[in-house]
Amino acid sequence: METRPLRRYLDPMVMDFTRVLLGLAIALFHAPLADFLRKQDRELAAAFRERGVPMPGGLPKRASHDLFFLLGIGVALLSLARIWFALR
């Protein structure tokens, strides 16, 4: 009977730990992710421009790498903060 309250307490924490790992994975692989999405953005913008829709240029390579790194670290830090507040 003791495992039921413990499980109710740990189930949300499993998602938070998963978010921490996801954030760290994004931060670790930020360069390939940013390059892939920049390529997709360029192709999509070219398709719109062919049809006469004006599209702004994409982010520079360095800015997109920095943005993805900060996104990954931000997700990990927010999840760690949620875990810390849950334990207090």
Give me the tens of pLDDT residue by residue for the chain, a chain 88 residues long: 455 666 776 777 888 899 999 999 999 999 999 999 999 999 999 999 999 998 888 889 999 999 999 999 999 999 999 988 888 8
In Å, how far from its chain's centre is CA 23? 6
Tokens of 62: 């360095």
Q: Residue 11 has what pLDDT?
A: 74
Q: Amino acid identity, residue 82?
A: R
| Residue 48 pLDDT | 92
- Which pLDDT does position 3 carry in this prediction? 56
The residue extents of the domains of the chain are 17-87
Using CA atoms, how far apart are residues 32 and 73, in angstroms rounded to an integer?
A: 16
Q: Which residue reads 């997109």 in tokens?
A: 64
Q: Could you tell me the pTM of the whole model?
A: 0.78
